[in-house]
Structure 1
Amino acid sequence: MAEDFAIRNTIFESGERFPILVNACTGIPLFDATVFTLSHVRARNRASATIEAVLRALKVFQLFCDQHRIVLSDRMRAGRLLELGELDALVRTCRLPMYVIQVKTDPGPHRFPRAPVPLERYRGPVQKAAPEVAGNFAGVRIRYIRDFIGWLVDRLVLSLDVQHPTRAALLDVKQMVVSGLTARIPTGKGRNSPHGRRALDDSAQKRLWKVIDVHSPLNPWNGEHARVRNELIVRWFMSLGIRRGELLGVKVTDLNFRTGDVFIARRADDRSDPRPHQPNTKTHDRTLPISTDLARRTHQYILGQRRRYPAARKHPFLFVANGGAPFSLRGLNAIFVALRDPSSGLPIVHPHILRHTNNYNFSRLADEQGMRPEVEKKIRSQMMGWSETSATAERYTRRETERKAREASLELQDRMLNPRDE
């Protein structure tokens, strides 16, 4: 039977999280994937989230090899890697969601020698209805798989004698496979696409406040704690524009109610965090002000809801699950899944949409105050945790410029239809 694979998180005594790709049936780690992440990724001080992204790509590659009955180690010993049609098929597989790839995996016997397959099999028509991941996400998978194949070849070549008959062939085929995968990496930048993430407009924001109100009949959550906590979480996202990892990493001690601010800290490999998948802060440490209303609601949550759970006294994190454990990324994502109910009347809402909405509201405030563009960029970078030289702030400025250009264009068109009297 075809094998399945899973990523398990190991927590070292130092607090470091180290993901490992294992056989889902036996729990045994995959040797090559583990050595690759240790020597090629972890050795370069990459974050555990990056290691996990690498392993997800290698999982795709392993499933692809199983599906097509490819034993890469045997091929390398014969001086071969992937055929041209297999490169195309691999790239198509990288464009598919993981659940589709796992369903497509060949359930029959595998790892047996196979007969030559015509190139037309790999170039057959693709189902138009098949879902696809974003182009930049598929590109990340292809890059990691490309690096992994190159690493496998280099490791084998270094163990061979200079005069070994397959050494030169391996180096040549490696160059062709690496260049072939590189040429097939999608070039589109999903973040800047016309259908990229958009902020909530004024009407959607008003609707959101109405839905998440603790006493609203439209509120999708059950239980007083869940309603109070989830409303407060949405208010934190909308008010501060922080990321998921930043919010879940906030500790009660990071709050200063006297001065009205919160410290957003980077705490990679925090030993006090019991969560296997530790929420991490991607941006710089910074102190953000919190409004009187947000401080009051947060203080009430701590005293009225959080302290009810004895388990919450064993850790310092602000937001807790029902029962008192630190709130997880999975639990946070479930909040926004519940908001997708058609009866809510809301567009798709998730934490990064609220981050964009915070930036959208800031852009409007900057216009009202007549803020100079260079000052606006510096303030935005400080609020979001970017360096002053980062070009990320310009992305939000560009989107706001596009919005203004759209409004100006529509106004010009209206004037053509309804010309003003001289």
Structure 2
Amino acid sequence: MLALLYRELAKAGIDLIHRLGRGQFLTIPELNRLADAAQYRLDDLADEDVDESCSSNVIAIKRIRMRRKVAVGKELAAVCVTSHASRLQYMADYLEFLATYVGATLSSVLGTRLAQETAQALRAFRAEVPRVSKRAKLGAREGLSREDQDRLLKVIHPNSLNNPWKRRFVRQRNWLIVVLLLATGMRRGELLGLQIRDLDQRLPKLRILRRADANDDPRDTQPGTKTYDREIELRPAIMRSVWSYINRQRRKIKAARKYPQLIVADDGQPLSLKSIDKIFMQIRDACPGLPDTLTSHVLRHTWNDRFSDEAEIMGLTDAVEEKARNEQQGWTDNSKSGATYTRRHASRKGRELSLKLQEQLDVADH
């Protein structure tokens, strides 16, 4: 969200901190440009160098400019309404926080003017946030079906003839990425933040830890862990695959020895978030039958659907299932986040109950 915000500001030649320091907020037309850019997928926005004459922002980000790619005969792909609304709300909250923070350092006159301009402009900006109906569930993101999971794993198996990658290292690494995401339900940022020392060498376990601004992470955008630290147990066969990748594939890349991260690129650098997105785009291209919406985050939904299925088979009560899920996903004990990730399971149960009710109706052919 902040990357999108600052890229658009850079495109317009706006130094946000300098502007706020003069007691001036963004104008409504400038905010409208932000709202417009927030409608589109980041993949459909290309980067351009910003003029060197632009003054730098205090917050360290890559100085780039964004422009929309206009493909011949093809419209830009828009994000869903929920994502658009979320982006705008985060931007508004951040701009309000930053204006308040800078305003506290200004004189009374400038601080008052900034507060008034901020309130007026953000009222107009927040009015642009699309309303998201809590009843609109059709088309919401769901996990993969069992059949699609099997197809996915079959296509990307390192020995598959349909595997879209050529190099053995890339095949093994990308297969491991998908397996770990399906096995644990972790986010892509958590996966990319994993370090070899987070693996237990005696037991099939790994630790997911929060590391803010890690000195040993060279990536401009460091993957983050949004949840609490936690320990996850793996099946021995999966853990053996992890160590096999480390000892037989990763170790061959000499440059990778400088970095503690588990998942690395061909050149040894820790893999980026954008690379994960590219991997899933290549998977979709290699297997057209898979959902067009397949991303790393869909595998998180898939894990939660499978968790619900197994909890039902085990006969867990709703309270025990919720607590167990929250622990495995790093959520607080009273978190209701699981409801976001179990739509396929809930939908299936709803259909089953609905059909049961219909069985009670006498609708024999007349």
> Normalized against structure 2, the TM-score is what?
0.76
Q: Is the Cα contact below 8 Å between 2:103 and 2:114 reproduced in 1?
A: no
SS in 2 for 1:236: helix
Cα separation, partners in 2 of 1:250 and 1:130, compared to 1, 3 Å: closer
Match of 2:296 in 1: 351
Separation of aligned partners in 2, 1:292 and 1:277 = 33
Alignment of 1:150-189 (within 5 A): 155=103, 158-159=106-107, 161=109, 174-188=118-132
Q: Compared with structure 1, are the counterparts of its residues 174 and 239 closer, same or farther at alpha carbon in structure 2 (3 Å cutoff)?
A: closer
Distance across 2 between alignment mates of 1:218 and 1:418: 49
Shift, 1:404, TM fit: 0.8
Note if 1:270 corresponds to 2:270.
no
What amino acid maps onto 2:158 in structure 1?
V
Distance in 2, Cα, partners of 1:345 & 1:101: 27
Deviations 1:9-43 (Å, cap 9, x if unpaired)?
xxxxxxxxxxxxxxxxxxxxxxxxxxxxxxxxxxx
Flag the 1:323–1:190 CA change in 2: closer, same or farther, 3 A. farther
Residue 248 of structure 2 aligns to which amino acid in structure 1?
G
Tell me if the contact between 1:311 and 1:323 (Cα under 8 Å) persists in the aligned partners.
yes
- Three-state SS of the structure 2 residue aligned to 1:339 is helix
Aligned-partner residue type, residue 238 of structure 1: L
* Aligned-partner Cα distance in 2 for 1:417–1:61: 65
Corresponding residue SS for 2:322: helix
1:386 alignment partner in structure 2? 331
Aligned twin of 1:405: 350
Give how far 1:376 is off: 0.3
Tell me the residue number matched to 1:60. 8
Q: Give deviations 1:274-329, integer Å, cap 9, x for gaps.
A: 22322221111111111011012112212211121222222222222223332222
**Residues 389/260 of structure 1: CA separation in 2 closer, same or farther (3 Å cut):** same
TM-superposed deviation, 1:236? 0.6
After superposition, the Cα gap between the structure-2 partners of 1:185 and 1:251, relative to the gap in structure 1 and judged at 3 Å, is same
Partner of 1:148: 95
Structure 1 residue 185: Cα displacement: 1.7
1:172 CA displacement:
5.6
Aligned to 2:81: 135
- 1:263 is displaced (CA, Å) by 1.2
Q: Percent identity?
A: 34
Query: Residue 340 of structure 1 aligns to a residue in which SS?
Result: helix
Structure 2 distance, partners of 1:266, 1:365, is: 29
Displacement after TM superposition at 1:146 (Å): 7.2
Q: 1:64 to 1:416 in 2, by over 3 A?
A: farther
Q: Distance in 2 between matches of 1:287 and 1:209?
A: 25
Structure 1 portions without partners, runs of 5+: 1-52, 67-71, 104-127
Alpha-carbon distance, 1:364 to partner: 0.6
CA contact (8 A) 1:256 1:262 kept: yes
Give how far 1:135 is off. 2.9
The one-letter code of the counterpart of 2:229 is D
Match of 2:312 in 1: 367
1:325 is aligned to 269
1:389 Cα deviation from its structure 2 partner? 1.7
Aligned to 2:147: 203
Quote the residue 1:335 is aligned against. 279
CA RMSD in angstroms comes to 3.8
Aligned length: 331
Quick one: distance in 2 between partners of 1:258 and 1:81? Answer: 56
Q: For structure 1, which segment, 301-310 or 183-192, has the greater mean C-alpha deviation from structure 2 after superposition? A: 183-192
SS of residue in 2 equivalent to 1:263: strand
Asked if structure 2 preserves the Cα contact closer than 8 Å seen for 1:229 and 1:301, the reply is: yes
SS in 1 for 2:231: strand
Larger Rg: 1
Superposition pairs of residues 1-400 of structure 1, within 5 angstroms: 53-60=1-8, 63=11, 82=27, 91-97=35-41, 131-143=77-89, 144-145=91-92, 148=95, 155=103, 158-159=106-107, 161=109, 174-188=118-132, 193-341=137-285, 343-348=287-292, 349-397=294-342, 400=345
Contact 1:136 1:189 in 2 (8 A): no
Q: Residue 129 and residue 213 in structure 1: after superposition, are their counterparts in 2 closer, same or farther (change >3 A)?
A: closer
Q: Is the 8 A contact 2:308 2:342 kept in 1?
A: yes
Alpha-carbon distance change, 267 to 148 in structure 1, aligned in 2, over 3 angstroms? closer
CA distance in 2, matches of 1:281, 1:229: 21
* Unpaired segments ≥5 residues, structure 2: 48-73
Partners of 1:97 and 1:132 within 8 A in 2: yes
When residues 266 and 171 of structure 1 are mapped into structure 2, their CA distance, relative to the original with a 3 A threshold, is: closer
SS at match of 2:162: coil
Q: Which string of whole-angstrom CA distances, capped at 9 and with x for unpartnered residues, describes residues 327-375 of structure 1?
A: 2223322211110116453223221111111111111101111110000
CA contact (8 A) 1:377 1:394 kept: no
Residue type at the aligned position of 2:164:
P
TM (norm. structure 1) is: 0.67
Q: Deviations over 1:369-406 (max 9, x none)?
A: 11100000011011111111212123335653232112
Farther off after superposition, 57-66 or 181-190: 57-66
Distance (Å, rounded) in 2 between the aligned partners of 1:268 and 1:81: 30
Displacement of 1:218: 1.0
- In 2, the alpha carbon distance for the partners of 1:324 and 1:187 equals 44
